[in-house]
Chain A
């Protein structure tokens, strides 16, 4: 599985999100991406990429696209 596939799979697993809407998905666009879903998503991503995200990055992770930017800080190229 490529990094991009892993990234997308985390959204599908944690938020039950439809793959077709991922590219434009923002925090709270769907009811599953609330604060509870957010923590599940962060946990999925940390497991998938073996990283530990900083508090500010977890809070700034406001969209699918923003998340890609943040993961680069952890040397995860998507």
Chain B
């Protein structure tokens, strides 16, 4: 089992940028009938999503989140040694979106910049990857950017068009010799299920096809969600000797309310420690877990550290579990934005 432990790395802040375009499920009568919308809302718990504006991309949301975070932390741009962008939404076929973000954020050429292509498991994989990189290099500060622009990737006439919302997040990490607790992780992948969440066309194998919407085989994903996720959470907790009461916040990917309900039931978790953000924001894929954490920190009374257990499953199929310790002074923020990048003029523009 690929379990891992990262020492001496602490999280300093999480910011989330949401598109300033909230769409209510019950109002989508242009594409769905009212009965269907009611059933969807009751079945998933999703009452609204935030959807990117016409020219807004996932990287634009991550950029806004990172700008706000760096400014709040007061971190010098030159001090950032690594930037990892994780998403299924990329600006161009080449180069990596992380390179564009490194430029836009004004980071140094000595800042490692790379992309990882993942969905709902992004945050767990991202923490493991960036933490491992920090532990084995001179990098002292790093940015993990997880975002998604699913509303433009799925068929708007399918129920996926109702389920997915868009968001961009930034997490700041710093080497910390005094970190009280390590980051633990467990990462898993079942490539046999690579067609379970699938965008067939547009890549090199099928460059000219028309099936470029992401299609989800709900049977496979559903079965995986309720079978593998609880199993992995329990194995993870046993491996690292974590008791249920030790955890202050269970930050899960936001698949749907009933799937999360099952995970709570089978893992015997206290429901009050498993918040749902999909109600307002839908399934924001790569951004889901940081949104859950930031929302919880913003709602929490200050003065205590927060021990988080995070888990996500998505495209791959890949899934993972991690636990992190957040100090009581960790920054959290969430805001809406209409900004996007005008690459012809190399500037940020606010949509009307």
Contacts and interface: CB of A to CB of B under 8 A. Distances in A.
Interface of A: 16, 27-28, 32, 34-40, 43, 52, 55-56, 58-59
Given A59-B223, A59-B226, A40 B42 contact: yes
Contacts of B221: 35
Q: Is the interface of A mostly helix, strand, loop or mixed?
A: helix
Given A37-B43, A55-B227, A16 B258 contact: no
Given A16-B39, A55-B227, A59-B227, A38 B222 contact: yes
Closest 6 pairs between A and B when the two form their complex, measured CB to CB: A39-B258, A35-B218, A35-B222, A36-B43, A59-B223, A40-B43
Contacts, number: 46
Tell me what chain B mostly uses at the interface: helix, strand, loop, or mixed. Answer: helix
B179 to A, nearest CB: 36
B23 interface: no
Contacts of A16: 35, 39
Contacts of B219: 27-28, 35
A36 B40 contact: yes
Given A34-B218, A35-B218, A36-B44, A55 B226 contact: yes
A36 B266 contact: no
Contacts of B42: 40
Given A27-B219, A55-B266, A40 B258 contact: yes
Nearest to A37: B43
Given A35-B221, A36-B40, A40-B43, 7 more contacts: A36-B39, A36-B159, A39-B256, A39-B259, A40-B42, A55-B227, A59-B227
B339 to A, nearest CB: 34
Contacts of A52: 265
Interface string B235-279: 000000000000000000000101100100110000000000000
A34 B221 CA distance: 12
A60 B218 CA distance: 14
A34 B219 CA distance: 8
Contacts of B266: 55
12 contacts: A27-B219, A35-B221, A36-B218, A39-B256, A39-B259, A40-B43, A43-B258, A55-B227, A55-B266, A58-B226, A59-B222, A59-B226
